[in-house]
Structure 1
């Protein structure tokens, strides 16, 4: 208690800085849809998270709205920019993007209701098929929104996402970063994850990328971010502590590149594309596969492993651009034989984010690829 008394002023200042200013508002669904159409409410799934609700989940929400069953509050952030014609503030969705997308898609006749139990007679009905009294009920249904002051620090905004992250579909770390650290670098990461060599190496079917769980949860974008975080020997700067883990290390990269210019962006893009083109060319589509020692022979455990990704992708980049080594095919067998070594296998297994393991696996691969 004595220590607390001496730090009261500091505590009061911190509490003041991190207090979030909010305002409750209610919109009927018809108004919400119009605001989304006009871009007043930004509902591009690329901004926040990739839409992951299936039509059954979306249908149950519509059923709840028709029956006037309460739904969770939508959290929105008032952006700084103002619409020059209407002078209306623009809003970004902090929590509730899945719900708003389901409402918007249904009122735009993008799916028919399925899996309803209370109103099973409506199964198979598009919005245009609803009787007029249900159309009115749905359009006039009010939805509670909580507007959050846009001037808050990005880290506070990140905290809000995490504290609201209690829904049935968990927000992943990269989905949080995507919403909090929007900007040119974030957009670059999202574009690069569609690179054909990258997708091949991550075992993402180019014909059906949206069906892959890594894509649904934005793990592919996080892996791009992981690449940019660890290259140029930056893995040596990773220092895990009680309050700081690898997730924070990745978020620091987003912060550091927040003001990146177009020339720097172009350089990052080129280095990424060249690196994965060479890896695919010299090691093949299963370059990031994990093997184990089975009585002196290699036994495949998985076709993609993120720790193997660290070891090979970061090594190749640093050797290509820092040591001017552009060809690795002659070392393909040497790389494969690393999996027969107990210490290397341990470095890609278990608590693979251990600092010692992270450094060891990257430096060991650099050693054999030189």
Structure 2
């Protein structure tokens, strides 16, 4: 009985600590845009995903706003009570980033309406092209927000973010890691995605990277993390579990480096940049392409394959920094001949996260390039 009372007390304390205080508030769209411009409303806190809506999806939202069709509540977190200069609270968007970004971009004339059906006469129109009465209607349209108390722990914000998004567009694994493991290592992974050699090798257009699906879903960030997870022979520590397997293996790397010092992060950055410079130099921008044997000729199947990435990127790093080998150009043709090897081809096909396949393809490439 005493134990029950103790547990009940503990439960009451936890419930009190974790209870989220909220307050309903409404802003018209014109005011919201001004607040975003002033930095009062922050659209991209660390735990948020990248903007993923295309122009058609964004246009349907704008049409709904014009027609006064209800849209979901936007959840915001009050981050700072009072700013000494503006005397205005600052907010981060916990849920509603895609909607607010669509509104913001349209009112800034960044895209034209497309694919809308009810007001199909507006297809092709930018915000500046709308008739005055629709501009007024859009600017005056109110958006309901739920403000979350600023005193809650940051981890609670992440919990809220994950729960609210469970019923919408499914978060990719890296988007969740971005929420849970925010910090300097996470920032490093995101910044390295813009490395020119890396983008060329992943077939991401240098001028319009935001149009690439890998970028939209943060898959490019996950590939950077994949690199840091496998290098220095760490791939040997991969043990597939019944549940998440490689997903947990990647998350363990995020957790391991979450407290890394600046010096260690700088070393990781240097190793990454040098590795991808050498790969691009010696193998070209289709270094991670997948080929198949077609009557003793190599037939290109795809210009980027993640299993080929595992094998070549991991190998080059380990040979450069652990064995002092800095030139691979003379071995390029030997590397390409691996695609005629049935065992190697099988290791980059099908269930390529199989432990045996992962180790085999990396060690096979090391054997060739060493």
Q: TM-score, normalised by structure 1?
A: 0.84
Gaps of 5+ in 2: none
Alpha-carbon separation, structure 2, partners of 1:82 and 1:247: 40
Instruction: Give secondary structure in 1 for the equivalent of 2:22.
Output: strand
Give the number of aligned pairs: 363
2:234 maps to what in 1?
Answer: 234
Q: 1:297: Cα distance to partner?
A: 4.0
* Alignment deviations for residues 134-176 of structure 1 (CA, whole Å, 9 cap, x no partner): 4444334332334456745649826843661443x54322233
* Alignment deviations for residues 71-116 of structure 1 (CA, whole Å, 9 cap, x no partner): 1222334447863434554333233211101111223343443443
1:354 maps to what in 2?
Answer: 354
1:75 maps to what in 2?
Answer: 75
Q: 1:319: Cα distance to partner?
A: 1.4
1:164 maps to what in 2?
Answer: 165
2:310 maps to what in 1?
Answer: 310
* Alignment deviations for residues 191-250 of structure 1 (CA, whole Å, 9 cap, x no partner): 222222212211223243333222232222221111112112222222222344222322
* Alignment deviations for residues 32-63 of structure 1 (CA, whole Å, 9 cap, x no partner): 22321221221249973333323332222122
Q: 1:280: Cα distance to partner?
A: 1.5
Alpha-carbon separation, structure 1, partners of 2:156 and 2:348: 31
User: Structure 1 207/111 Cα, relative in aligned 2: closer, same or farther at 3 Å?
Assistant: closer
| Residue 269 of structure 2 is aligned to residue 269 of structure 1 | yes
User: Structure 1 16/231 Cα, relative in aligned 2: closer, same or farther at 3 Å?
Assistant: farther
Alpha-carbon separation, structure 2, partners of 1:159 and 1:229: 28
2:56 maps to what in 1?
Answer: 56
2:25 maps to what in 1?
Answer: 26
Instruction: Give secondary structure in 2 for the equivalent of 1:189.
Output: helix
80-89 vs 62-71, which moves further: 80-89
1:177 maps to what in 2?
Answer: 177
1:248-267 matched pairs, under 5 angstroms: 248-267=248-267
Q: TM-score, normalised by structure 2?
A: 0.84
Aligned Cα root-mean-square deviation (Å): 3.3
Alpha-carbon separation, structure 2, partners of 1:213 and 1:103: 21
User: Structure 1 20/328 Cα, relative in aligned 2: closer, same or farther at 3 Å?
Assistant: farther
Q: 1:320: Cα distance to partner?
A: 0.9
Instruction: Give secondary structure in 2 for the equivalent of 1:110.
Output: coil
2:222 maps to what in 1?
Answer: 222
1:200 maps to what in 2?
Answer: 200
* Alignment deviations for residues 244-273 of structure 1 (CA, whole Å, 9 cap, x no partner): 422232223223323333322221111111
Q: Is the Cα–Cα contact under 8 Å of residues 24 and 144 in structure 1 kept in the other structure?
A: no
User: Structure 1 60/249 Cα, relative in aligned 2: closer, same or farther at 3 Å?
Assistant: same
Instruction: Give secondary structure in 1 for the equivalent of 2:118.
Output: coil
Alpha-carbon separation, structure 2, partners of 1:355 and 1:148: 44
Alpha-carbon separation, structure 1, partners of 2:247 and 2:149: 26
Q: Is the Cα–Cα contact under 8 Å of residues 24 and 146 in structure 1 kept in the other structure?
A: yes
Instruction: Give secondary structure in 2 for the equivalent of 1:39.
Output: coil
48-57 vs 64-73, which moves further: 48-57
Q: 1:321: Cα distance to partner?
A: 0.9
Alpha-carbon separation, structure 1, partners of 2:126 and 2:295: 60
User: Structure 1 335/158 Cα, relative in aligned 2: closer, same or farther at 3 Å?
Assistant: farther
